[in-house]
Amino acid sequence: MSFLDKLFGRKNSADSAKERLQLVLIHDRTDLTPAELESLRDDLIATVSRHVEIDVTAMQFGMEHDGRSQRLVADIPIKSASHRRRASSSRKPKAR
Amino acid sequence: MTAQVITVTSGKGGVGKTTAVANLAVALAANGSRVVCIDGDIGLRNLDVILGLENRIVYDIVDVIEGRCRLKQAMIKDKRLPNLHLIPAAQTRDKNAVSASDMTRLTKDLRSECDFILIDSPAGIERGFKNAIAPADRVLVVTNPEVSAVRDADRVIGILEAEDKGPGSLIINRLNPSLVRRQEMLSADDVLDLLAIELIGIVPEDEGVLIGSNRGAPVALDLKSKAGEAFRNIARRLKGEEVPFLDLESGSSLWERIQKLAGRR
């Protein structure tokens, strides 16, 4: 790695190789393309949202590997119940 | 005593499968084991030249399978190491001349005659590869610290698991310690972290390997070569010995020490 690379904050090539391989191997092992993973994420959001209100912007979603096995990891923050009650009471249908 | 069948494979071509088979065969035989190696790369025969036995071929593996000769007639004895034999691949036939059950039958007949049967698998994940792993008790996956070789090794490991051949043991071949120290090559730890299988050896890049191939004398016969030592260590591990791994990544060259002193790293 040259002095100039360091100056411009360019990563050394071994790290790039490892990071790129980590992603490629996940896709090879699960046979899931990035687009399919994206659509899985959307389906997951839709399903969970039918039951609880979630904070989609703070959600974490991705593949991790543990040895040779792959794990789909989703961390989905749920909006607080008081927030939900307020939201739902304002939407409460009027009594007939 | 029945032999252990060990298949050496890699997915990607050119990573050093044949070199590994030749060196492990020589190292095991020099250590007193009776070894038969089989070239499984039908149509692209090479193990014979790497071992320096190319001028002695009369019959090949397809002759045995099709009954034109007895098994013993196709086994070429190495004059340097009388307990090392080679069954060469056919050069003018294609991979369809051999089936997985042919390989299993062939190794079954050999098992009582030796301690180790080493099979050199062709590159790829097709029929020749499937034939080569069919009789294996153990599979060694050879890779280089390089993106395409690691990716292909991962595919092969996945297939081995699916075929109940275990994940295999890993040989990281052609590691360049100075490139690793400069962080311009994946380290052995990086490769192990990615592939997550058992490591059986790390072989440094060494010009002695090419010189050995040129001469038909595998580098494991050269007691001064680092790569030779690495292959001899793998052979000892195959025999069940606990051998520490060579320290390849920490030592540094004079130039690197000067750079360190000058504060460049």
> CA geometry: angle at B115 spanning B114 and B121, to 5°?
90
Look at residue A92 and tell me whether its pLDDT is greater than 60: no
- Same domain? For A53 and A86 the reply is yes
Other CB atoms within a 10 A radius of the CB of residue B97 amount to 17
Whole-Å CA distances, B64 to B37, B58, B143: 15, 11, 31
B190, A68: Cβ pair inside 8 Å? no
Least confident of A27-41, B30-44, B124-138, B240-254: B240-254
Higher pLDDT, A11 or B223: B223
| pLDDT higher than threshold 80 for residue A87 | no
Q: Are residues A44 and A91 in the same domain?
A: yes
Residues A20 and A40 in one domain: no
CA closest to B159 among chain A residues = A29
Question: Which residue in this structure is represented by tokens 């119940």?
Answer: A81
What pLDDT is recorded for position B257? 61
Residue range(s) defining the domain that contains residue B29: 4-261
- Give the pLDDT band of residue B183 (cuts 50, 70, 90): very high
- Chain centroid, CA B127 distance in Å: 19
Cβ pair A14:B154 closer than 8 A: no
Same domain, A54 and A19: no
Residue A32 burial class via C-beta count within 10 angstroms: exposed 0-12, middle 13-18, buried 19 and up: middle
The answer to whether residues A26 and A54 belong to one domain is no
d(CA A15, CA A30): 23
- Element (H or E) spanning B140, and its range? strand B138-143
Please, which residues bridge with residue B172 across strands? B143, B202
A24 and A67 both lie in a single domain: no
Q: Are residues A10 and A57 in the same domain?
A: no
State the DSSP code for B112: G
B196/A28 CB distance under 8 A: no
The verdict on a CB contact (< 8 Å) between A1 and B154 is no
Domain that holds residue A24: 1-31
Predicted local confidence at residue B58, as pLDDT: 96
Which residues of chain A make contact with B158, given a CB cutoff of 8 A?
A: 28-29
Using an 8 Å CB-CB cutoff, list residues of chain B that contact chain A. 146-147, 150-151, 154-155, 157-158, 161, 167, 180, 182-187, 190, 193-197, 264
Same domain, A38 and A23: no
- Neighboring chain A residues of B194 at a CB cutoff of 8 Å: 18, 21-22, 25
Using a CB-CB cut-off of 8 Å, the residues of chain B touching A14 are: 180, 183-187, 190
| pLDDT at position A27 | 87
**pLDDT classification of B261: cutoffs 50, 70, 90:** low
Closest CA to B91 of B60, B113, B133: B60
Read off the CATH number of the domain in which B41 is found: 3.40.50.300
Do residues A19 and A41 share a domain? no
Angle formed at CA A60 by CA A59 and CA A61, multiple of 5 degrees = 120
Q: How many domains does chain A have?
A: 2
CB–CB contacts below 8 A, A to B = 52
- Give me the pLDDT at residue A44, please: 94
Cβ distance A28 to B186 less than 8 Å, yes or no, reads no
- Mark whether A66 and A93 lie in a shared domain: yes
Q: HEC states along B113-133?
A: HCCEEEEECCCCCCHHHHHHH
CA–CA distance, B6 with B138 (Å, rounded to integer): 5
Whether B105 and B66 have beta carbons less than 8 Å apart is answered as no
- Å between B190 CA and nearest CA of chain A: 7
For B122, the token pair is 């062709």
Partner-chain residue, chosen from B147, B158, B197, that has the shortest CB–CB distance to A21: B147
Give the ipTM of the model, two decimals please. Answer: 0.86
Nearest CA in chain B to A22: B194
**Count of domains observed in chain B:** 1
- Predicted pLDDT at A18: 96
Query: Which chain A residue's Cα is nearest to B189?
Result: A18
Q: What is the DSSP string of B146-186?
A: SHHHHHHHHHHHHHHHHTTS-S-EEEEEEE-HHHHHTT-S-
Same domain, A10 and A38: no
Taking all residues of chain B, what is their mean pLDDT, rounded to a whole number?
94
Q: Which tens digits make up the pLDDT trace of B51-107? A: 999 999 999 999 999 999 999 999 999 999 999 999 999 998 877 899 999 999 999
Fill in the DSSP letter of residue B68.
Answer: S
* B66 C-beta neighbours (distance < 10 Å), count: 13
Task: Give chain A as a 3 state SS string.
Answer: CCHHHHHCCCCCHHHHHHHHHHHHHHHHHHCCCHHHHHHHHHHHHHHHHCCCCECHHHCEEEEEEECCEEEEEEECCECCHHHHHHHHHHCCCCCC
The shortest C-alpha distance from A24 to chain B (Å) reads 8
Between residues A3 and B211, the one the model is more confident about: B211
- Distance to chain B for A10, nearest Cα, Å: 12
What is B214-233 written as a DSSP string? Answer: HHT--GGG-TT-HHHHHHHH
Question: CA-nearest residue of chain A to B194?
Answer: A22
Percentage of chain A beyond pLDDT 90 is 46
Where is pLDDT greater, at B105 or A8? B105
In terms of domains, do A8 and A42 share one? no
Name the minimum distance, in Å, from the CA of A71 to any CA of chain B.
Answer: 15
